[in-house]
Chain A
């Protein structure tokens, strides 16, 4: 059953198999059939089909020789714009094979680039525009500078709707011979927040335990993805026991090999679920937000987490 990762196994390879984004698929199909596509910008949340659609476009354009004419880069994984440009240069140097006169470069998470890096990217796009088409992908189009947006046809991807997600669930359940009842499907949809990749990963994870996927099973998997015992840390802190809260915090980070940011995310979710005075909840969340801000700015994770525990301690005593 599980000798392949399902997100790859069930990734559609043609327009017909694509779920959701009907308008976009129509427009893209037309562009591809005219064999002349401009630079493209795919904007939208994670798991809505941007990379998949890019791969379909490329396969339709180049058929069997798609691997030679396609370069996939991820802006947040590469070490800076110079490395990206070097790779683009090396790739763009050779001509395209086949009837299509250009090659395609897919740059994922383009919004991870700074403004300066994007300016540099724009120049690269201009330099190689005759031999290469750029396909940019991002979560927030507002983070892409105007000069790049104006050079691209922009497509805004939406979160998948329940009907789309149900389609995906059904397709997989049929092939993998799983039993997914309606309540389970609803739970999967809620947990996924419209992210198709999350849906498929959840399904594969639950299926690895049992082919009968129930609401309870899904909930177990979802909660096991959260670090255990965070609540214990907060309980200690709110009760004024700083020392134990700190020990437990470090203990959990060690056991589950979590980073400070991971811990913070988990704490923030826990805070929202606490049964406390709304005003207090707001103040605690403010503190959490401030700590996250500082962490992102480059402060020491552990010092800041401890400060957070200390303010929880004050909150518990009504002194925050």
Chain B
């Protein structure tokens, strides 16, 4: 069984990192039909939207009737299913919740009138309707937005994902070190499902994780690129690694200074930075040929940066920059929160507030002003320490 299945939250309390949204969901269902008939849970993938609905239903002993985007939701089906379901009271359980997952997956062709019908059904429904979506601000959903209470699920913080992973590795008796879990948490970018799947794939290959297998390969590759003069086979080296090119950057960044010095070091790092520019552009311009240049610079290019081959043994190190940058971002988060409150108070933009921040350090330490801005404990702590 997948970890995502096995560790599904069974009550709203178990949903981590979405306390406000969970409370709003609870309020919505319990106050039905006094306020609104439908609500829309929106937010990035894997942050707990569908899980919350199931968790809540489990806790309240309610039945869920689920419709997915992949279901053929045309007029007939909806009026039969949703219309029918809404009007039947369940025989065995107390309440019913109609769940329409990924409502923004409705495509124009297959669901001619499906969206319109849904809008009408919401009006007639006897049971609360909960929808989930990733993007809700598209023009075509403006009608839905009116009929449903919008409940935002925010992107989960890596800390939250990390503590979840830690809990599960404990329950599963797995021996993974914290650094590895933190890396998985960071890479998942708030997507718990993805993080759990990553965790599980590592698990099914070795019980006791050692990154040694992966590392041996990268160490060998590094040795070839950094010590040898350029060779034709270098272009395939990174492909054979079980590692994304993004990780290769980190390894090169960390170890180039250990092997190269002076001009050759500058040249190699310059190539690294050029490859990085291509990396950024692939996403923006969807021009995947740029991968070729990236790969070339990172392998052949780096190798050619030196005039002569290198001999002897050099000890390469695992990169820890990701963690350090993550720590910087964590600290930044608090600073940003303070700046946001300051911005709102002074009628300026967040960007401007960040610019004024350093000039206002002393003033922000004042307790009365912290009160006026409504700062939280950790924000006050942060100001104390700068």
Contact = CB atoms under 8 A, between A and B. Distances in A.
Contacts of A307: 269-270, 272-273
Which residue of B139, B328, B346, B366 has the most chain A CB atoms within 10 A of its CB atom?
B328
A299 interface: yes
B358 interface: yes
10 contacts: A5-B345, A76-B351, A202-B359, A205-B359, A254-B324, A294-B277, A297-B277, A299-B280, A303-B272, A303-B273
A96 interface: no
Given A5-B346, A254-B324, A298-B284, A205 B362 contact: yes
A8 B369 CA distance: 12
Given A201-B356, A303-B276, A77 B253 contact: no
B362 A4 contact: no
Given A5-B345, A208-B362, A198 B276 contact: no
A82 interface: yes
Contact of A83 (B137, B265, B348, B372): B137
A8 B366 contact: no
Contacts, number: 146
Give me the 5 closest cross-chain CB pairs, A-B, nearest first. A307-B273, A225-B358, A3-B368, A257-B331, A310-B266
Interface string A297-320: 111101110110011011001010
Contacts of A313: 262, 265-266
B1 interface: no
A56 to B, nearest CB: 13
Given A208-B363, A242-B265, A254 B346 contact: no
A243 B258 CA distance: 9
B263 A319 contact: yes
A74 B352 CA distance: 11
B369 A299 contact: no
B290 interface: no
A314 B260 CA distance: 14
A158 interface: no
Interface in B220-268: 249, 253, 257, 262-263, 265-266
A226 B355 CA distance: 11
Contact of B363 (A205, A225, A317): A205
Interface in B307-332: 321, 324-325, 327-328, 331-332
Interface string A72-103: 10101101101100000000000000000000
B369 to A, nearest CB: 6
Contacts of B293: none
B366 A208 contact: yes
B6 interface: no
Interface in A215-244: 221-222, 224-226, 240, 242-243
Contacts of A276: none
Given A5-B345, A221-B359, A314 B276 contact: no
Contacts of A83: 137
B345 A8 contact: yes
Which residue of B263, B265, B348, B359 has the most chain A CB atoms within 10 A of its CB atom?
B359
B356 A197 contact: yes
B11 to A, nearest CB: 32
Contacts of B324: 250, 254
B360 interface: yes
Contacts of B328: 253-254, 257-258
Given A201-B363, A310-B265, A77 B349 contact: yes
Contacts of B334: 257
B361 interface: yes
B346 to A, nearest CB: 6
A226 B361 CA distance: 12
Contacts of B352: 46
Nearest to A201: B359
Interface string B273-284: 100110111011
B154 interface: no
B343 A77 contact: yes
Interface size class of B (residues with CB under 8 A): 35 or more
Interface size class of A (residues with CB under 8 A): 35 or more
Given A198-B356, A257-B328, A257-B331, 5 more contacts: A109-B349, A250-B321, A310-B265, A313-B265, A314-B266
Contacts of A297: 277, 280-281, 284
Interface in A242-287: 242-243, 246, 250, 253-254, 256-259
B10 interface: no
Contacts of B378: none
Contacts of B281: 297
A114 interface: no
Interface in A144-178: none
A257 B325 CA distance: 10
Contacts of A48: none
Contacts of A46: 352
A257 B137 contact: no
A8 B277 CA distance: 43
Which residue of B283, B343, B346, B386 has the most chain A CB atoms within 10 A of its CB atom?
B346
A221 B358 CA distance: 9
Interface in B125-142: 137, 139
Contact of B257 (A7, A243, A311, A317): A243
Contacts of A253: 328
Contacts of B386: 256
Nearest to B322: A302
A34 interface: no
B171 interface: no
A297 B285 CA distance: 12
B331 A254 contact: yes
Contacts of A77: 343, 349-350
B186 to A, nearest CB: 14
A83 B42 CA distance: 15
B347 interface: yes
A259 B332 contact: yes
Contacts of B361: 205, 224-225
